[in-house]
A and B are shown apart, each in its own frame.
Chain A
Amino acid sequence: MDADVLLLARAQFGLNIGFHILFPSLTIGLAWILLYFRIRYARSGDPAWLATYKLWTKVFALSFAMGVVSGITMSFQFGTNWPGFMQKVGNIAGPLLAYEVLTAFFLEATFLGVMLFGMNRVPGWMHIVSAAMVALGTTLSAFWILALNSWMHTPAGQVMDAGQIIAGDWMRVIFNPSFSFRFTHMMLASGLTAAFVIAGLSAWRLLRASEDVSARGTLRTGLVLAAVLAPLQMFVGDLHGLNTLEHQPAKIAAIEALWETQKGAPLVLFAVPDDDRRRNDFAIEIPKGASLILKHDGDAEVKGIDAFAPDAPPVAPVFFAFRVMVGLGTLMLVLGWGGTWMTRGGALPPRWLLWTLAGSTFAGWIATLAGWIVTEIGRQPWLVTGVLKTAEAAGGASGAQLGASLTGYIITYAVMLIAYFVVLTHLAGKGTAA
């Protein structure tokens, strides 16, 4: 297969999955927050909670639709772009995807109709059940897709039967070594994404109308949620990293920009990794730092890229994306704690904080995308670690076909994303007053 065509196929799939991941990562968290708003309304009967619920339902419905349509695209691109993937590991990937459709997609899609349009048609408890089913559906969806994704990173439970890879033990396939870390990490990422979208859009509203009580309430909800989830995420992220060191050490070498295996490996804080010459320029290092963090022993040996070449990932994108993710995680922690402190007792935070929060509305998205780049580029050249390489899975689509459809997707996604931002700022600007 032509290297350029493979690159186009990867670019197209990367674009689609990168576009898609934005919306589920928001709606999974938002679905549970909506359920919370809905229950608060049911318990208090306060119309302000109802207005809050309705406003955020609009944001949810819009984001959910974006996720659904880009998700349908994904289900087709497995076949159109990566036929080799299905031929080789279809007996494992197929059933996991089928379970996602069966247990999650129908559940969330059907109850979404009742949740969005059925408030006056069903009893209150039934409406709450519908909202809960939608939240459950989004979470189940993440469960299955992350089971598959984790299996691709850390395959387990498969056996060979007459030249085919099949599942020998489905429990081991699903609960593979990295699954619990990845699933928890993604769930927390979704919660943080939703928390910052809520806090950011509420701050945007308060900048225009500081008297809006409902926006003050949701700002507080978002900040408190962020304050709780951000430290949890750091803890889980660290565990996830140690799990990766055990199962995908090449990814860790790329994250640390460690070219050569060495004892007492330094922690590279910043550098410009050069993949061609295999070295770091402008490096700022802490001596023995990497050995200390990864092995809890300053003189321990840490494997570098040289231990895995040529089956090693490109270093620069993984290295930079990791630092973006961690940097944003730290920012979220500071904003969550600081914001929670400054809004205690229902106080209106100063305008500079509101501006900062409004500017951080999509911090969760950027961190999620960065994390996704770390983990997915970090496993290259493997598509399924040790089993199937990305280049072996590509299909027969020509460069012209890929180019034409890629152009179509880019235009469509650009239109959708611009419209999404316009509507979101518009909705947030009006608040519950609309």
Chain B
Amino acid sequence: MNLDLPLIFAALMGLAILLYVVLDGYDLGVGMLMPAADAREQELMVASIGPFWDANETWLVLGVGILLVAFPVAHGIVLGALYLPVAAMLIGLMLRGVAFEFRVKAEGWHRGLWNWLFWFGSFLASFAQGLMLGRYVTGFHPGFGYYLFAMLVGASLCGGYVLLGATWLILKTEGALQKKALAWARWGLLWVALGVALVSLATPVVSQTVQAKWFDFPRTLALMLLPLATLVAGWRVWASTGRLKRGEREFDWMPFAAAVAIFALAFAGLAYSLFPYVVMDRMTIWEAAAHPSALKFVLAGVAIVVPFLIAYTAFAYRVFRGKARAGLYE
């Protein structure tokens, strides 16, 4: 059997990164929304993500791990080029990760400090991830315009995570906090819409490769399904939050599901733009791939472990299903 191992690993890496973005995205989003809530609500918000955040972040380690295993040369190039945003992201993730623990145990002004660090860490990590994405898709070109573009992506990703966080809270909370979350979700959606539109328009301008791939009739017509589907998903968020706000019948998971759909679609668009490059315009997945012996060894592990991983992840989400309750850390 002749497997296209680099392609399989590119798909696995994409899946890990998408899962990371969606899963850690909602808990980073909740972190960024903390200052908008009162002290009692903040406890519920943290309780809604407490059991999950650690496993969510593990997807990032898996994503970068696959990059390292499958495309070791690209791993060095990409992370070397993203040196400072990576450092900023890591510091952000560290601060918010430990703030989960410290904010509960601290007292007085210390508690306020850790709450602030929790917010700041969430924001720093989200913005840095967007910055990394913006630098990555443009092949790390130097130049003011490219950096401005990366900042734009950074801001958009923050908006996206706020949307995920707010819709997660709609699912996991009730009453006054859920009402607030509904309003946050709608603001987040507007932010995302603006960001996605700007990024979609700007990407072909800053990258010739992307332009050539998208504006190629008649393929363009088929590709237009992606933005159309994204519009539909965006509309689902808007409509479902509207119905929930008015107290009409609607599933409380609908806004979150629709927000996840937006991310999956945007991700598909990006994947299409990049493929087959692992370093934009410089190195394809086949050029960067590790030796088949290494890939086969890891693939065997993936095949054995992933079913268990899915099973116990499903188990954990089942254990903590339903609305979040305060006093989680008691």
Interface residues of A (CB under 8 A from B): 58, 61-62, 64-66, 68-73, 75-76, 78-80, 83-84, 86-87, 90-92, 94-95, 97-99, 101-103, 105-107, 109-114, 116-118, 121-122, 133, 161, 164, 166-167, 170, 395-397, 401, 404-405, 408-409, 412, 416, 419-420, 422-423, 426-427
Contact = CB atoms under 8 A, between A and B. Distances in A.
A43 to B, nearest CB: 24
B292 to A, nearest CB: 9
A29 B309 CA distance: 24
Contacts of B313: 106, 110
B55 A87 contact: no
Given A65-B101, A90-B290, A113 B69 contact: no
Given A110-B316, A167-B294, A423 B68 contact: no
Contact of A94 (B69, B83, B102, B302): B69
B319 A122 contact: yes
Nearest to B54: A109
Contacts of B79: 76, 79-80, 83
Contacts of A65: 54, 97-98, 100-101
A106 B316 CA distance: 11
Contact of B102 (A64, A99, A423): A423
Given A65-B100, A79-B68, A92-B294, 9 more contacts: A86-B76, A98-B301, A101-B65, A109-B55, A110-B55, A113-B50, A117-B328, A118-B51, A412-B95
Contact of A114 (B73, B78, B319): B319
B269 interface: no
A160 to B, nearest CB: 11
Given A98-B66, A103-B305, A114-B316, A166 B291 contact: yes
A412 B117 CA distance: 11
- Closest 5 A-B residue pairs measured CB to CB? A83-B76, A90-B72, A113-B51, A79-B79, A94-B69
B2 interface: no
A112 B54 contact: yes
Contacts of B94: 69-70, 72-73, 412, 416
B92 to A, nearest CB: 10
16 contacts: A58-B105, A79-B80, A83-B76, A87-B73, A90-B69, A91-B291, A95-B294, A95-B298, A98-B65, A102-B62, A102-B301, A110-B313, A116-B50, A167-B297, A404-B84, A405-B84
Contacts of B293: 91, 161, 166-167
Nearest to A408: B91
A113 B54 contact: yes
B87 A75 contact: no
Contacts of A416: 94, 98
Most A CB contacts (10 A, CB to CB) among B64, B291, B302, B329 go to B291
Nearest to B76: A83
B105 A62 contact: yes
Dominant secondary structure at the A interface:
helix
A102 B302 contact: yes
B294 A68 contact: no
A423 B101 CA distance: 10
B90 interface: yes
Contact of A102 (B73, B88, B91, B309): B309
A249 B51 CA distance: 48
B189 interface: no
Interface in B89-138: 90-91, 93-95, 97-98, 100-102, 105-106, 110, 114
B50 A117 contact: yes
A100 B58 CA distance: 11
Nearest to A100: B65
Contacts of A405: 83-84, 87
A98 B329 CA distance: 32
Contact of B305 (A76, A94, A102): A102
A107 B54 CA distance: 11
Contacts of B83: 80, 397, 401, 405
Nearest to A400: B84
B77 interface: yes
Contacts of A117: 50-51, 320, 328-329
Nearest to B309: A106
B281 to A, nearest CB: 19
A423 B294 contact: no
B298 to A, nearest CB: 5
Interface in B274-325: 290-291, 293-294, 297-298, 301-302, 305-306, 309, 312-313, 315-316, 319-320
A392 B51 CA distance: 42
Contacts of A95: 69, 294, 297-298, 301
A16 to B, nearest CB: 9
B232 interface: no
B69 A75 contact: no
A94 B76 contact: no
B60 interface: yes
B328 A408 contact: no
Contacts of B68: 75, 78-79, 86, 90, 94, 97-98
A265 to B, nearest CB: 43
A62 B61 CA distance: 20
A91 B80 CA distance: 19
A161 B291 contact: yes
A409 B87 contact: yes
A124 to B, nearest CB: 14
B75 interface: yes
A85 B72 CA distance: 9
Contact of A90 (B58, B294, B312, B316): B294
A336 to B, nearest CB: 30
A121 B319 contact: yes
B147 interface: no
A66 B51 CA distance: 16
B301 A109 contact: no
A79 B66 CA distance: 12
A97 B57 contact: no
B86 interface: yes
Contact of A395 (B76, B87, B290, B329): B76
A68 B102 contact: no
B146 interface: no
A14 to B, nearest CB: 16
B267 interface: no
Contacts of A161: 291, 293
A401 B88 CA distance: 12
B214 interface: no
A170 B298 CA distance: 11
B12 to A, nearest CB: 10
A61 B58 contact: no
Contact of B58 (A58, A106, A114, A408): A106
B52 interface: yes
Nearest to B64: A75
Nearest to B90: A73
A68 B54 contact: yes
